[in-house]
Amino acid sequence: MALRTRITDLLGIEHPIVQGGMMWVGRAELAAAVSNAGGLGILTALTQPSPDELRREIERCRGMTDRPFGVNLTILPSVSPPPYAEYRRAIIDSGVTIVETAGHRPQEHVEEFKAHGVTVIHKCTAVRHALSAERMGVDAISIDGFECAGHPGEDDIPGLILIPAAADRVKVPMLASGGFGDARGLVAALALGAEGINMGTRFCATVEAPIHDAVKQLIVANDERATNLIFRRFHNTGRVAKTSVSDEVVEISRRHDAVFEDIRPLVSGARGRTALETGDLDAGLIWAGQIQGLIHDVPTCAELIGRIVGEAETLIAGRLAGLMPRLLEEAA
């Protein structure tokens, strides 16, 4: 039994599993491994220091897989933003056919990608944002529940509610994101109205993820309680792994007179990159979701995706299908 959905058809992939675009993690090694395993791997554009470096990373990924892969472009408000239009041009000029957009006011980028025939998936944290993106003309939505790593928005709606609420109103295919890492999650997402899943933290704990093994082992050791919510008072909530650094950020933020400048040195992207690359867990933030509680090993991407799909098929054809005769018998 193949799990064929509108997402697999839209993206030209074998399995309805997409790797999230993650800063410092979404590199060619991981994206190619996910794509080669039948999912959709995604490079993170802003991980590369310049548009030309992104072009080279796209070519490097092409040298590692002949299957579809995408690029994430996250647009964030900033005093000195990166040259988004130049990154966008690099993606288009490189012939990338799938893009995941996220963040602040993506319309300009969505319109330009669509004008060049690029399939656009937009990541959202609320139904109203998903409907807005659909009106912009995106091809698919990735809806992020409160369990997710990264920025879950300010509504605090978990996936069990958010996914079906979005499925009731969104017409384009939809990926469920936030709290997914095994077959049970995939089957649940399909039952809730999604057409596949987007996984970030789970793919960090794989052999091919280009981060230090100490970070992978932290994710494996952590349970579902081992996250901190940061930036709450600044209305830019983020979920990260519970570490000495994120504990300190939370503690400082609790002070009644705290301002962002008080925590800025602790939360810099450069420090987070150092933590990921060196394994120094006290160096900076490590972004991870509550799915940590369901991650118990560090498989290859092929092993992980094969396991998820195989166990999902068994769940659907076995346990769930087996409930029907019992229900019909009880009804009679």
What is the per-residue pLDDT across 65-93, written as a single tens digit (0 to 9) for each?
A: 999 999 999 998 777 899 999 999 999 99
Task: Give the residue carrying structure tokens 């299908």.
Answer: 321
More confident residue, 324 or 18: 18
Q: Which residues of 117-147 are buried (b: 16+ CB within 10 A; e: fewer)?
A: ebbbbbbbbbbebbbebbebebbbbbbbbbb
State how far the alpha carbon of 218 is from the alpha carbons of 15, 205, 215, 221, 279, in Å: 28, 9, 5, 5, 10
Q: Is the pLDDT of residue 332 over 60?
A: no
- Structure letter (DSSP) for residue 259: -
For 160-218, the pLDDT digits (tens) are 999 999 999 999 999 999 999 999 999 999 999 999 999 999 999 999 999 999 999 99
Average pLDDT, stretch 135-145? 98
Of residues 317 and 120, more confidently modeled = 120
Q: Which of 225, 204, 207 is nearest to 215 (CA)?
A: 204
C-beta neighbour count of 12 within 10 angstroms = 12
The Cα 190–Cα 107 span in angstroms is 28
Q: How much is the pLDDT for 329?
A: 64
* Mean pLDDT of the chain, nearest integer: 95
Is residue 110 within 8 A of residue 122, CB to CB? The reply is yes
Phi, then psi, of 322 in degrees rounded to 5: -70, -20
CA distances from 53 to 27, 50, 70, 281 (A): 12, 5, 16, 28
pLDDT tens readout for residues 211-269 = 999 999 999 999 999 999 999 999 999 999 999 999 999 999 999 999 999 999 999 99
The pLDDT confidence band at residue 326, using thresholds 50, 70 and 90, is low
pLDDT band of 331, cuts 50, 70, 90: low
What's the predicted TM-score (pTM) here? 0.95
Question: Is the pLDDT score of 325 beyond 80?
Answer: no
Helix (H) or strand (E) holding 224: none
Q: What local confidence, expressed as pLDDT, does residue 104 receive?
A: 83
Q: What is the mean pLDDT of residues 286-310?
A: 98
What percent of the chain shows pLDDT beyond 70? 97
At residue 50, the pLDDT reads 98
Q: Which domains does the chain have, with CATH numbers?
A: 6-211 (3.20.20.70), 213-290 (no CATH)
Residue 45, pLDDT above cutoff 60: yes
Per DSSP, helices labelled H in 141-235 are: 159-167, 183-192, 201-204, 213-221
